[in-house]
Structures are given as C-alpha cells and as structure tokens.
Structure 1
C-alpha cells in the first residue's frame, strides 16, 4: 500500500494494478499497452507484473478491441480496453452501441457486460488531427453506457476502480491535458468512488460553475479570481456524464440562482445544453439569470498552433460569470 503524491496518469496505473491484484478476472488489452506501456505510459510496468496473458498487446484495430472486450465481458472476464485516442473510437461504436449497451436488456438480465473502455480525450497537447476530440456527448446519449471523466488523481483512482468493478459497460475518458499537470497524495486503499455522483469542489453562494475533465482546472482558477472581486462561486465537477447526478446540480443552482457551464466540446449539442435544459425545466422560477455556457467552437479542433484559441480559458469563464451576475432580466 502506497501513500505518495502521484499524477492523474499514475493514479490510473495504480487503480488498474490494484484491480488486477484484487480480481484475477481483470485483464487489460489495447494497442502497445504491454511491452511499451501505452502511448502515454498509462500501463507501464503492468505486463512485467501480471504477465502477457493479462496485459495483452493487440493489433491496430479498434473494432476488434471493442468486440473482444464485449465477448470477454459476457463470459465472466472483466476487460479494461484502451483506445489510444478518442478520435479513433468510432470504429468501436458498433460494438458499444449495438451490443455492450444492450446486452442486459437483450438477454433479460441473463448476461451483463462488465467492460471498461479507456480513451484519452480532449485538446491542449499539440497533437495532430484526430488526437484532440471531445465527443463525450455522443457516448452519453446512449442508454446503457456509463460515461465517466476524472479531473484529479484522487477521482481517477476511485472512479476507475468503480468502473472496473461495475457490471455495466463504462466509457472512461481521460483528460490527457492534465495527465501530468499536478500531483496528489493517494492512498492505495482500494476504495472506489460512486459512478453516479457529482463532486462539489468548492462551496459558494452567488453562482454555480459546472464543469468536467480538464476544464475543471480553469473553472477553479476562475473561481479563485472571482472571489477577489467578491463573487462567491460554487464549483461542481460533474465527473459522471451518464447517468448524471441532476439532484446535486439542481440543489446547487437552486441555492445560488445562477449558473455557468464549462466544457471544451463544441457548443452545439454539447452536454452543457442538456444541463441547461434540465435546470430550466426543473427550477426555472429560482433562476435569477439564464444558464450560460462557455465552450469550444462549432468547428473541427484546429491544429496545434491554433488549438488554444479553440479551448475556453479562465478569462472566458470570468467574463461569462460577470455578465451572468449583471443580468437584469
């Protein structure tokens, strides 16, 4: 058992190792995850520790990886499959949408599909095309798929353990921009976090800031800056995008009366719109201003020279909060 300060990436590695120690049915599979330890080294050292029968290098074939994971999961194995980048996840959609998400329904609960599909996602690392996508709304739209996004080492460790132990298929999206951004003391105690709850990271009274993934960092930084102006921000990390913990969001915005939702995915059809609609439907009379979204643009993620112009930043959030606070109806 360790109690060291580690990065989000190291916390993912630690959680997988812990799960494999605790359960011999947990196996890992993906492109270059064994000998090379994965493109980001998330699985470094695990093949040496657990052997090639449990840490399996696959061909460059996302359809096959997802199909193998579904088949394994229905036969009592708990596979943790890696897609190298979210932009390459689309060949896996047939298995995720048509099979993994429907297995329990199709078999009248005779079979479940306890698989995890890990994928680094989001921009900000100067990557080429197809390596910076943030299309979580596509996956969160599918009934039967859990979609989880950690934003800190502690949540990465606890949520990934919960995902591996879940009897549902879980899409575990890892914000690669913050893989190594900070370190947190983590006790390797095997304790999981709930897969259907938001996390309130900061209490506040004037406005609620809602975010997930890498954008939580900018959201917290904006809350710090706004506190110096006398604006008290409550900050919520959604973390579990499907099923979403609407109760926590509704309670917070009922208290503050105002809300800004932050995500790096495109504006149109993003999960920010789903949250805003839920708030408007459920607590319209308690809102003192319309819910506001701060998002990426409705364009393809640009190449690295322009990607920071695409991603929302702390100043964008601060401006949106100020304008929401000044709203007079």
Structure 2
C-alpha cells in the first residue's frame, strides 16, 4: 500500500526563457499522444498495484503552458483513468508550474474547469508584470500561488514578492538554489531574508498555508514517520518517458515508463535517521536533514546535514506560528 504518490511530469523541454539556474535541459521536444497515453497507463498501473490513497501530479517543462493541448489531454486522461479509490490531496490533484508568459484566457478557463491549481514562477520579471499575471490568473481561476526560486534577483526582492502573495491571498513557496549551500554567503543571506519574510507573513495576520514556505518542510505533518516523499513515493517523468528519483538531479535516472514501479531502484532517501548530527534535534520530523541534493552539492556527499541547518533552526519556531494560525 502507498498512502501518497506524487509525480512531476515534464511534458516538454521547450521554454521561451533561458533562466541560468534551471536544471532541466532545454530543447524543442514535447510528449506526443502515444507517450502521454503510456505515461498515464504507468501511473494508473502503479496506483492499482499499491492501492494508492492520494495521487498528485505537478505538470512542468520547459514551459507546459506553451503546449496546452498536450497539457489538457494529460489531465483529462488521468482524471478519466485513475482508479475510483484514489483521492486528491487537500492541496489539489493537479498543479501546473508556469512562468506565466502563455496566459491565454481560453486555456485558463479550461484549467479552472478541471480544478487545476497554478503555481506562478515570477522568474526575473518586474514586480508590475508579476502583479498583472497574478491578476489575470486570479480573475479567471479564482486563485494563484507564487513559487519563488531564490536566485540573487529574487533573494534581493523577496520582501516585495511576499507582499504580492499577501495582497492576492496567495500561498508562497520559497525554494533556495539547489547549490546554494556551496555559494559563499548564500546561507547567511537566506537566513536574513527569510526572517523578513516571516516578519511580513506574521504581521499580516492571515492564515497562510505553511508547507513549502521554507524549502520542502511540511509543518502541518503530525505523524512520527518521515512526511517527505523524496526517494520513496515520488518520481519525475521526463518529456521522453525517462524516470528520475530526484527532481533537481538529472543524473538520477532509474528507469522509464516501461519499468514497473517495483523495479525502480531508489536511493538517497530523504531521511535523517542515519545522520548523527540530526539525532536529538527537535525539528527532525519536519526537516529530515534537508534536501539530499543540496547536501551533495555542498559537501560532495549525502552524509551530512543540510548546509542550511543553522538557518532552519532559527526559522522553524516562526514557521510553526504560521502553522498554528492555519490549523486553528
């Protein structure tokens, strides 16, 4: 049995942007109908084989909104063929990650009809352009979330982006650069800026979804087991059908959509149980030692706690205040 099953599906490697910190190789290829059908079958077969309770799909690229026909076909086939016992998690079953450059009203209306949530990546657009995109998405879809990657431009203006999230009653996800722990001064800047983010979020006195504000931490989790799905019940599916165990590491290919889930060989599970530095830490349930890829890029090994550990320990008490507000 598998409680949660999560897939990141990269339907295309085309993107009109050339963000230097993007990990997904760019090209001009898109899943055809046959490959989409095979991908859906692989997901459905996995759900049947493991009696999956909750399934969620993030649809990415490249830029997925540049291929609306493929995107909508994938969603429709999954909605049609997923087993009746598979439920959507509270945060929604389908999420599209987009830079917002292809916000055609007709496509947005189709996404709303299918109850698809939209994560807007602000890239390095000017604040007014981001605001206009958020207004368009919210007007048609009734909601929008921000997914911020903290390159140097967005690190410097994260307070302004937080203001936008508050203004639009939007959830904000804030991710560091995967290699941030290896960049001199980056962790200290992250800590400083995230304190300012929490200043604004706590002052706003609005319920704010607390999960993923600080990396992939999930403070609403109250169980004893590891709440994170990395290396356990998650796969990234490339536009060519190849399967990876790590979203940000293209070298973690473990099979393809012809490979049954049970034959995939996962490694580097997101767990702190073998990290002596994490033993006894009060935040271990929610942190789990931090992202394995970030540890690898900082130290050349997975065997040490996150280079962001000192920042997390300072920030967790503030994050938990947001959790208390949300849960109440």
Whether these two folds match at TM > 0.5 is no
Identify the structure with the greater strand proportion: 1
TM-score scaled by length of structure 1? 0.35
